[in-house]
């Protein structure tokens, strides 16, 4: 039995700016490369004493700098930038990208191999600590044949190591330091000590990583320590009653008063813009989901919002479920290659392409973008946001910004109608802006999304 | 030399609702527990054939369900919920929390140990694939003493394995299946085959994980495969000129026209609310940073916005840098314990406490919350958002929602002034709402942040 739900209708602009792109391209497939066991120097919060990690030759396909990409026939994304401004723009973009790489932890993104035949047991995944708090390191052990003395060492960079409750006669060197050594003539006693090793990060950071080196005689292994501040959940109460609220973001030239019990009307500066209006509208939603509709959609007898909700409730990972507007179930796939740091990435859009069916839901498919009639998970959509720079014509941009963060599905049979269009000249001048609008948008993309080229 | 920057001034409500909390509590420290090598069944997108992972006994502090927490003297967060509604609310909250755990990948959050003395080499971290695209598995190798025949097996759950370019006479079983076996009488040839093993995920998901089992004779190791759709960068161009824009979110009862060259004035439904206004204002920012000010702040001769920018530019991981309002440099630390799934978490706020100094910046300290005069990184602040439910009195809530996601710093010597207060009765009735307002807020927190108790 389904809980009764709260829905918010979002109606954005009374100027009703909407556009669809209708190009089609062949699908390309590439694998991604990552940096291998190397540590590149960069600014940001790091311990300046971190040494280079040892490099292991593991094959030609891993390299530190991703391969440049191509868009086949697309022109470069920077083609509308005036020649005398291009260098400056390129430099500013390189600087923003450098900061982006720091923020997204690219320097921690290394491949680590477990070497064969080491007598050491250690945690390879899931060992997480909160910043600056002492935590037991799980699973450290030595398993080796009989020796007179057993000695292991542990070394970290962003924290301090200690052994809890060191007893008389137990040999521990480097207590509360970066380098710790434990010795014993008894293997069981050594493993007992290894069971009591703690790590305390000394850097304050909410999301970073340390690397631990664990060694015995000529064997050395590496393992990651995730330093992570815990997040607090943010949940939405769906309540018990249907609660429909209409949020209107209005950038009309001459806004009219709109009143009603379930209506929230926000007046924007005139012609402030399409995506600015969308971002405003979603910023005011207080419910778990919102239904996106443009102001010129028409609800039909067959329109069933609850069926959208059923799908989202059954598959909590979903973020957007799209339907069909007057027979047009527009959806698309985006192919993205990261490209090189200098040139940027390559985007290709494939209309009416999907990734895979949604298991358990006939007629639903994973895609990267849908038509403007969809149910959105409020927190997920807000985290991506609608770029308020985009004033007149935009659609794919939201899904591009959300690539990798939004799980999007299109489903057959969820229909809404569309008013007949009747344009006034004044509306037309906004709805079909001059060429410069799309040129400025391309330049905006070149910078914002760090692109080399983009083709629809 | 610093780039010239764009700044946006954000002025939220002309009703100027602002509040500070002034309680003080002792600091508690706890470590966090995680689930160990166990796979709990849940709904959501998963391959229903995934078997339980083997459990390894590694000590008493790791358990599947985090320990309950306590807030010392704080009353329960659900104390204002009417008794006849409490069960329903609790059940709805449990359901939302269950979905939250699925969305945040808790089922993938397992601790994996590398066993000692295995003759296998394999990747323990950093092996990432894009969904449904064939990728070479790096670093697989067997290093063992001479045998007549060498045979290794590889097993995955959410994908298919294959060996590239299998030659005549090379023994590969399970090509393009979940279970792959490779045999050879020659160790070098076997390792050559292992160098050509590929993985292709069969589930479409933008962020999930598979586990691979790699075995030889009686040895078996596990390693994670990250399945991740790549995100596109979203960068902001700081430009070359100073560009100051003032964004006003106005929920006055009788809004007045506000005009000016650099002013964007948004009119909200009357008394729509404080955080609704804040969320609206930041939804309209188009620049990399924004400066938050309340409408009753006063710029002083000594006010230096650029010094905030300098700090943020030098430390790209920072999200919020706070200053001081008329001698009040309010900042605080939040202590958060996850608590048990049933009861929820515990939050304690410590006024004028900080975590650690910001390296390289005298007078700057890491905190969890600051005063309402701060420079914010637009994308980071928007991703957290200001909960539009909070209509009258709120401050800490933003930082609570942002815990673990926002890196916040307070710095000495960044001052702005404050108007003298002169309240009208009408303003007073909004500024100091009845007791029911804070009771409803506590109930909101109980659900939204999955809390057991909260104390300021």
Is the pLDDT confidence value at A306 over 50? Answer: yes
Query: Do residues B116 and B178 both lie within one domain?
Result: yes
Across chain A, mean pLDDT equals: 85
What per-residue confidence (pLDDT) applies to B320?
98
When CB atoms are compared, the residue of B111, B131, B407 closest to A126 is B111
Residue A45: pLDDT band (50, 70, 90) is: low
Per-residue confidence (pLDDT) for residue B45, from 0 to 100: 52
Same domain, B298 and B427: yes
What are A361-372's pLDDT values in tens digits?
A: 999 999 999 999
Best B78, B92, B101, B125 member to test A by mutation, with max A CBs in 10 Å, is B125
* pLDDT surpassing 90 at residue B26: no
Indicate the residue among A217, A250, A276 that finishes a domain.
Answer: A217
Confidence check: pLDDT of A36 > 50: no
Specify the pLDDT at position B24.
Answer: 20
Q: State the nearest Cα–Cα gap between A224 and chain B, in angstroms.
A: 8
Structure confidence by residue, pLDDT tens digits, A158-169: 999 999 999 888
Residues A212, A258, single domain; the answer is no
- Please indicate if any CB of chain B lies within 8 Å of the CB of A252: no
Confidence of residue A41 (pLDDT cuts 50, 70, 90): very low
pTM of the model: 0.86
Nearest CA of chain B to the CA of A247: how many Å?
10
Pairing of strands A6-11, A289-293: parallel
* B267 contacts A284? CB cut-off 8 A: no
d(CA A335, CA A350): 8
Same-domain pairing of A321 and A440: yes
pLDDT at residue B23, as a whole number: 20
Q: Which residue of A has its CA nearest to B113?
A: A123
Q: Would B59 be classed as within a structural domain?
A: no
> Which candidate from A122, A126, A231 shows the least CB-CB separation from B405?
A231
Residues of A in contact with B269 (CB under 8 A): 264-266
CATH code of the domain containing A430: 3.90.550
- Residue B426 lies inside a defined structural domain of this protein: yes
Q: List the 356-415 stretch of A: residues with Cβ below 8 A of B.
A: 356, 359, 366, 379, 382-383, 385, 387-389, 400-401, 403-407
Decide if A39 touches B, using CB distance below 8 A.
no
- pLDDT given for residue B259 in this prediction: 84
Give the nearest chain B residue to A227 (CA atoms).
B404
The answer to whether residues B411 and B323 touch, using CB atoms and an 8 Å cutoff, is yes
Report the percentage of chain A scoring pLDDT > 90: 71
For the cut 80, the answer to whether the pLDDT of residue B83 exceeds it is yes
| Residue A123, pLDDT score | 96
CA distance to partner chain A, nearest, from residue B382 (Å): 7
Q: How far is CA A181 from CA A140, A149, A217, B199, B354, in A?
A: 13, 13, 12, 39, 33
Indicate if the pLDDT at residue A155 is higher than 90.
yes
Which of B216, B233, B379 would best serve as a mutation to test chain A binding (most A beta carbons within 10 A)?
A: B233
pLDDT at A21 over 60: no
pLDDT, one tens digit per residue, over A172-193 is: 999 999 999 999 999 999 999 9
Q: Where does the pLDDT of residue B456 fall: very low under 50, low under 70, confident under 90, or very high at 90 and above?
A: confident
Average pLDDT on A105-118 reads: 90
User: A167 and chain B: CB distance < 8 Å anywhere?
Assistant: no
Going by pLDDT thresholds of 50, 70 and 90, the confidence category of residue A424 is confident
Q: Indicate whether B102 pLDDT > 60.
A: yes
Residue in A closest to B402 by C-alpha: A231
B392: which DSSP letter? S
Q: Which candidate from A88, A134, A266 shows the least CB-CB separation from B268?
A: A266
Structural domain ending residue among the three candidates A157, A191, A217: A217
- Residue in chain A nearest B259 by alpha carbon: A269
Q: How confident is the model at residue A421 (pLDDT cuts 50, 70, 90)?
A: confident
Higher-confidence position of B428 and A29: B428
Residue B74 covered by a domain = no
Please state the length of chain A. Answer: 456
In a shared domain, residues B205 and B295: no
Q: Which domain holds residue B265?
A: 10-33+233-455
**Same domain for A291 and A342?**
yes
- pLDDT given at position A431: 81
Inter-chain contact A114–B133, Cβ cutoff 8 Å? no
Distance, C-alpha B227 to centroid of its chain: 19
List the structure tokens of A32. Answer: 């991604």
**C-alpha A18, offset from chain centre:** 26
In the predicted structure, residue B231 carries a pLDDT above the cut 50: yes
A56 within some domain: no
Q: Which of B33, B91, B316 to probe the A interface (max A CBs under 10 A)? A: B316
Question: Closest partner residue to A124 among B113, B143, B232, by Cβ?
Answer: B113
pLDDT score, position B134? 96
CB < 8 Å from A in window 205-224 of B: 205-207, 221, 223-224
Q: Does A265 contact B at CB distance below 8 Å?
A: yes
- Regarding predicted confidence, which is higher, B304 or B451? B451
Min Cα separation B454/chain A (Å): 12
Distance from CA of A397 to the nearest CA of B (A): 11
CB-CB under 8 Å, A195 with B59: yes
Together in a domain, B162 and B285: no
Task: Tell me, yes or no, whether B277 and B418 share the same domain.
Answer: yes
Specify whether the CB–CB gap between B239 and B217 falls below 8 A.
Answer: no
State whether A59 and B138 contact (CB < 8 Å). yes
Average pLDDT over residues A84-108: 93
Q: Are residues A264 and A347 in the same domain?
A: yes
From A2-6, A209-213, A353-357, B20-24, the region with the lowest mean pLDDT: B20-24
- Nearest CB neighbour to B114, from listed A114, A239, A315: A114
pLDDT at B111 over 80: yes
pLDDT of residue A240: 80
* Residue A138: inside a domain: yes
Give yes or no: residues A333 and A256 share one domain: yes
Q: List, in order, residues 6 or more apart from B286 with CB less than 8 Å away.
A: A387, A388, A389, B8, B245
What is the pLDDT at residue B64? Answer: 59
Q: Is B44 in contact with A317 (Cβ distance < 8 A)?
A: yes
- Using 50, 70 and 90 to split pLDDT, how confident is the model at B39? very low
Q: Is residue B378 domain-resident?
A: yes
Compute the nearest-CA separation of B139 from chain A (Å): 6
Question: What's the pLDDT at B117?
Answer: 96
Q: Residues B240, B186: one domain?
A: no
In chain B, how many domains are there?
2
Q: For residues A282-301, give the mean pLDDT.
A: 94
Q: Touching check for B448 and chain A: CB below 8 Å?
A: yes
Contact A124 B143 (CB under 8 A): no
Q: How many interface pairs between A and B have CB atoms less than 8 angstroms apart?
A: 356
Q: Which pLDDT belongs to residue B426?
A: 81
A290 and A152 within one domain: no
- CB contacts of B206 in chain A (<8 Å) are 404-407
Residues from chain A contacting residue B224 (CB–CB below 8 Å):
125
Give the residue on A whose Cα is nearest the Cα of B35: A126
% of residues, chain B, pLDDT over 90? 71
Minimum CA–CA partner of A207 in chain B: B404
What percentage of chain A has pLDDT greater than the value 70?
Answer: 86
Task: Tell me, yes or no, whether B107 lies in a domain.
Answer: no
Instruction: Using the 3D structure, point to which of B217, B245, B277 is the last residue of a domain.
Output: B217
Q: A447, B29: Cβ pair inside 8 Å? A: no
Helices (H), B160-273: 187-194
Burial annotation A355-365 (CB, 10 A radius, 16+ → b, else e): beebeebeebb
d(CA A246, CA A11): 7
Report the relative pairing of strands B243-250 and B263-267 from DSSP bridges.
parallel
**pLDDT score for A64:** 59
Residue of B nearest to A272 (CA): B264
Is position B72 within any domain?
no
| Angle between helix B83-103 and helix B435-448 axes, rounded to 10 deg | 40
Distance in angstroms (rounded) separating the CA atoms of residues A129 and A199: 8
Tell me the pLDDT of chain B averaged across its residues. 85
**pLDDT reading at A143 higher than 70:** yes
Residues in chain A with CB shorter than 8 Å from the CB of B238 are 92, 96
């Amino acid at each position: 039995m389904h809980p009764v739900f709260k829905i918010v209708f979002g109606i954005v602009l009374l100027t009703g700016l909407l556009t669809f792109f209708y190009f089609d391209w062949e699908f390309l497939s590439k694998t991604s490369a990552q940096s291998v066991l190397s540590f590149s120097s960069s600014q940001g919060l790091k311990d300046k004493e971190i040494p280079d990690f040892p490099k292991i030759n593991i094959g030609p396909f891993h390299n530190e700098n991703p391969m440049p990409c191509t868009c086949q026939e697309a022109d470069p994304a920077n083609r509308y930038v005036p020649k005398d401004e291009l260098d400056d723009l390129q430099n500013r973009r390189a600087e923003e990208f450098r900061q982006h790489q720091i923020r997204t932890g690219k320097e921690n993104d290394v491949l680590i191999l477990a070497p064969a035949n080491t007598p050491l047991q250690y945690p390879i995944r899931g060992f997480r600590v909160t910043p600056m708090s002492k935590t037991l390191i799980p699973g450290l052990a030595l398993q080796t044949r009989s020796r007179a003395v057993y000695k292991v060492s542990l070394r970290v960079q962003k924290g301090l190591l200690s052994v809890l409750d060191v007893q008389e006669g137990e040999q521990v060197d480097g207590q509360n330091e970066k380098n710790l050594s434990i010795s014993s003539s008894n293997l069981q006693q050594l493993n007992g000590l290894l069971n009591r090793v703690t790590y305390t990060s000394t850097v304050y950071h909410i999301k970073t990583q340390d690397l631990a080196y664990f060694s015995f005689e000529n064997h050395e292994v590496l393992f990651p320590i995730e330093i992570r501040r815990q997040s607090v959940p943010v949940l939405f109460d769906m309540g018990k009653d249907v609660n429909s609220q209409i949020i209107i973001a209005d950038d009309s030239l001459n806004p009219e008063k709109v009143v009603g019990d379930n209506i929230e009307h926000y007046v924007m500066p005139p012609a402030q813009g399409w995506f600015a209006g969308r971002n405003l509208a979603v910023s005011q939603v207080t419910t778990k989901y919102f239904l996106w509709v443009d102001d010129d959609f028409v609800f039909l007898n067959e329109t069933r919002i609850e069926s959208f909700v059923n799908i989202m409730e059954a598959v909590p990972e979903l973020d957007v479920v799209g339907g069909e507007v007057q027979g047009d179930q527009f959806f698309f796939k985006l192919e993205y290659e990261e490209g090189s740091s200098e040139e940027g990435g390559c985007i290709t859009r494939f209309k009416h392409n999907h990734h895979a069916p949604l298991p358990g839901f006939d007629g639903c498919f994973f895609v990267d973008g849908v038509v403007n009639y969809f149910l959105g998970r409020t927190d997920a959509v807000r985290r991506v946001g609608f770029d308020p720079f985009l004033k007149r014509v935009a659609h794919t941009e939201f899904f591009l910004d959300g690539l990798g963060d939004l799980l999007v599905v299109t489903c057959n049979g969820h229909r809404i109608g569309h008013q007949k269009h009747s344009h006034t000249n004044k509306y037309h001048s906004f709805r079909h802006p001059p060429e410069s609008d799309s040129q400025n948008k391309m330049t905006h993309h070149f910078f914002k999304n760090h692109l080399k080229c983009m083709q629809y």
